[in-house]
Structure 1
């Protein structure tokens, strides 16, 4: 996943928002899964984030697409 956010937002606040919003949406659509997941949590409390350095957005996007295809039997995950 590649994201960008304003410099006044902290990485931890971005991750917290993403995890919170996506978990709420997931459990709204699939409430039966809450009891099947790790203590009712969709996400683990940890995360990893890194900058892309001097690499273009296009190169990073292509790398992500290649990884998605590589681990999905050669099919893009769209």
Structure 2
């Protein structure tokens, strides 16, 4: 699992940011490790899914601390809470 803490310009959508990050990083990884091509035959290094959350009400230092020291138990709890929020908002699905 990978955690990123980024600030995006207003004219760049979250979806486009994911696309750019995944595309460029996969390109660099395949260039650095050519054997990955035999493992990822279709050229897709990253899974198609993504998850993001706005953290405007949290201090940057708290986020950095979480990313550096996160525990899987806390992460699973966050995912459960996000699923509950999604269900409460009556979203069709959450993965």
For the aligned pair, the TM-score class normalised by the smaller chain equals 0.7 to 0.9
Tell me by how many angstroms 1:53 deviates. 3.3
Q: Is the aligned partner of 1:13 residue 2:6? A: no
Unaligned runs of 5+ in 1: 72-78
Q: How many residues align?
A: 69
Matching residue of 1:57: 60
The change in CA–CA distance for 1:42 and 1:8 in structure 2 (over 3 A counts) is same
TM-score by length of 1: 0.79
The 5 Å alignment of 1:1-40 reads 1-37=4-40, 39-40=42-43
Unaligned runs of 5+ in 2: 73-95
- Point out the more displaced range, 17-26 or 51-60: 51-60
Give structure 1 regions of 4+ aligned residues with deviation exceeding 3 angstroms. none
Q: Does the residue aligned with 2:42 lie in a helix, a strand or coil?
A: helix
TM-score by length of 2: 0.66
Distance 2:36 2:9 in 1: 34
- Point out the more displaced range, 35-44 or 3-12: 35-44
